[in-house]
Amino acid sequence: MTSLQALFVIAGVGYIIGSLTVKEMQLGASGVLLVALLFGHIGYELPPIIRDLGLVLFIVSVGLISGPSFFRNLKRNALSYGVIAVAIIVSATVLALALRTVFGIPRELATGIFTGALTTTPGLAAALEVTDNPNVSVGYGIAYPFGVIGKVLLIQAIPILAGKNLKEEVAKYKSKKPFAGKSSLIVREFIVDNPEVDRKTLAELDVASRTGAVVSRVMRGKHIVAALGDTLLLQGDYVRAVGTQESLMRLGELIGPVVKLSMDEPGLEVRDLTVESNEVAGRRLQELDVYEKYGVILTRIMRMGIEFTPSGKTVLELKDVVRAVGPKFALDRFQEFLGIQRRILGNTGLVPLSLVISLGIFIGRLQIPVPGIGSVSLGLTGGPLLASLMIGHIGSVGPWSLRPSGQFLGNTREFGLMLFLAGAGVSAGHGFVETVSKYGWILFFMGAIITLFPMLLGFVVAHKGFKLDFIDTMGCICGGTTSTPALGALISAAGTDEVATPYAAIYPFAMVLVVIASSVLAMF
């Protein structure tokens, strides 16, 4: 079997194993690592370029996904989400240092245990970049299975330990949302028969604020026009409005009764729009009055590959993709509010991706003088990560977007992860059995402690220290440990994806911190 054929056999079998579900738990892409360890053990080799290519594709995709929110969150949430992430990652780092000293575990192996226990592939990549030692991958492979399973089990056990009913906490959380009652839009037609609104404009009547509904069309005789602020209403006019059941009832009380009428209006549309305006980014939805001002309802937000339902407390970030529902004219106005919907440079996303990788490799090779040490470089992990975070934050030049679509980045991230895990796993497989035989249960014990304790500490800091809602707290500890499987288990247990909002907010902090911590552990 050639190396190229072995690579895709490893990938295919690995993803089959990773897709197997046991009690709603999956290994995911890490099934590739397990198969790669086996192939390495029986003597297969893969060229180093496969691991390096996978590394830069994975790291740059993660950086571009996280970049739009990372720097803004760093400034805005450093006192809450930042501290929670620091508490989780620093406690795990201290535990790794203490346990490797107590049990005499080699530095590279202990660093791998650290990255596997936190299920952090960026951390594994950073440690391998520093050490170029396959024992890092061995440690990762040993600790990763419990890292996944332990987090999934603990995230379901914490509500029991805290005496909380997760479904009840979700209900309380939703009841506090300013948009809780605005769940569906309907369209109705009315006839203007209230003398008090005759010969007044929609702006003078302040329809949106007074009723919560938005007038989309006005028909006078046989002529239908789009409803604007200066549109004058006359008795006998027909209007079409969009809103909730309650808001349309209020509109009827204001202008006149509902009628059955066929107006030349296509009705509601659904549009996915990207947040491009700096004026919008960083603001809560309740501040923007999206529903009242524009007559649209946001049903989903897509950020960093995670989809979640927005609430009034949700803070929009640059490059968020929002799914808006409303009439065409309202969506046109809302789209203008969000900023110019830019085209991706090169259309497919390969052009900006290639440019960022090239820039990242260049930055990674720069020698940075450090007094007392000499000079250091950021390498294939730090350079591409820094470059992609910066480009993801800048986002665009003129009419061109420098950030590929979320779907493109998600696919690239997964492909890069597959290449990286296959290359790293085959290299580590040559000494995997010998290492496990030498240290035995100590390695598994070390991984379990690093998996569980930081999550419990994060819960205490978030819920008791910062007094976050229970649902926010649960999302935070999933994001603070960079655990997507734990998030999936939490969503399943809670019956809602509300928990993905704090996960998406804290994840960039934790991701960068864990890369730094892995590098430090691998160096010293």
- 508/382 same-domain check: yes
Examine residue 68 and state whether it is found in any structural domain, yes or no: yes
pLDDT tens digits, 430-448? 777 777 787 778 888 998 9
Report the first-to-last Cα separation within the chain, whole angstroms: 40
- pLDDT recorded at residue 58: 82
Domain endpoint, select from 227, 256, 285: 256
Distance (Å, whole) CA 270 – CA 136: 47
Distance (Å, whole) CA 212 – CA 314: 20
Output the CA–CA distances (angstroms, integers) from residue 152 to 22, 145, 214, 457, 504, in the order listed. 12, 11, 45, 16, 18
Q: Who has greater pLDDT, 77 or 87? A: 87
Give the side-chain half-sphere CA count within 13 A for 13: 14
- pLDDT recorded at residue 179: 43
Average pLDDT over residues 52-57: 88
Q: Is the pLDDT of residue 12 over 90?
A: yes
Q: Who has greater pLDDT, 484 or 99? A: 99
Q: Is the pLDDT of residue 144 over 60?
A: yes
Going by C-alpha positions, the residue among 122, 128, 131 that lies closest to residue 389 is: 122
Which CATH number goes with the domain that contains 62? 1.20.1530
Helix boundaries (H) for 104-164: 107-117, 121-131, 135-161
Lowest-confidence pick of 182-186, 317-321, 377-381, 424-428: 182-186
Which CATH number goes with the domain that contains 286? 3.30.70.1450
The dihedral over CA atoms of 346, 347, 349, 353, expressed in degrees to the nearest 10, equals 10
- And the tokens for 370? 């450090």
Contacts with 334 (C-beta within 8 Å, 6 or more apart), sequence order:
273, 290, 294, 296, 324, 326
Examine residue 419 and state whether it is found in any structural domain, yes or no: yes
- 27/66 same-domain check: yes
Average pLDDT over residues 51-77: 76
Instruction: Tally DSSP H helices, then E strands, for the chain.
Output: 22, 16
Q: Is the pLDDT of residue 57 over 80?
A: yes
- 247/281 same-domain check: no
- pLDDT recorded at residue 373: 54
- And the tokens for 366? 């720069």
Distance (Å, whole) CA 175 – CA 480: 26
Average pLDDT over residues 78-93: 86
- pLDDT recorded at residue 180: 42
Q: Is the pLDDT of residue 455 over 60?
A: yes
Examine residue 417 and state whether it is found in any structural domain, yes or no: yes
- The answer to whether 425 touches 35, Cβ cutoff 8 Å, is yes
Examine residue 323 and state whether it is found in any structural domain, yes or no: yes
Domain endpoint, select from 299, 321, 342: 342
- pLDDT recorded at residue 181: 42
- And the tokens for 253? 């009380």
Give the H/E segment covering residue 444. helix 441-459
Domain endpoint, select from 302, 324, 342: 342
Confidence of residue 7 (pLDDT cuts 50, 70, 90): very high
Place of tokens 């061109």: 400
Lowest-confidence pick of 210-219, 340-349, 490-499: 490-499
- And the tokens for 271? 């549009």
- pLDDT recorded at residue 24: 57
Q: Is the pLDDT of residue 88 over 90?
A: yes
Examine residue 234 and state whether it is found in any structural domain, yes or no: yes
Q: Is the pLDDT of residue 503 over 90?
A: no
Q: Is the pLDDT of residue 149 over 80?
A: no
As for how many domains the chain has, the answer is 3
- 274/226 same-domain check: no
- 431/517 same-domain check: yes
Going by C-alpha positions, the residue among 338, 337, 214 that lies closest to residue 275 is: 338
- 80/161 same-domain check: yes
Examine residue 214 and state whether it is found in any structural domain, yes or no: yes
Examine residue 413 and state whether it is found in any structural domain, yes or no: yes
Domain that holds residue 272: 268-342
- 327/385 same-domain check: no
Average pLDDT over residues 75-82: 70
Q: Is the pLDDT of residue 268 over 70?
A: no
- 385/514 same-domain check: yes
pLDDT tens digits, 177-219? 444 444 456 778 899 999 988 999 888 888 877 887 778 788 8
Looking at the chain, the whole-number percentage of residues with pLDDT higher than 70 is: 85
- 303/358 same-domain check: no
pTM over 0.85: no
Average pLDDT over residues 402-411: 79
- 237/294 same-domain check: no
Q: Is the pLDDT of residue 315 over 60?
A: yes
- 143/214 same-domain check: no
Q: Strand, helix or coil at 401?
A: strand
Q: Who has greater pLDDT, 373 or 181? A: 373
Looking at the chain, the whole-number percentage of residues with pLDDT higher than 90 is: 14
Examine residue 261 and state whether it is found in any structural domain, yes or no: no
Q: Who has greater pLDDT, 311 or 154? A: 154
Distance (Å, whole) CA 196 – CA 202: 13
Q: Strand, helix or coil at 96?
A: helix
Buried b (16+ CB within 10 A) or exposed e, 49-59: ebbbbbbbbbb
Average pLDDT over residues 88-95: 93
- 109/209 same-domain check: no
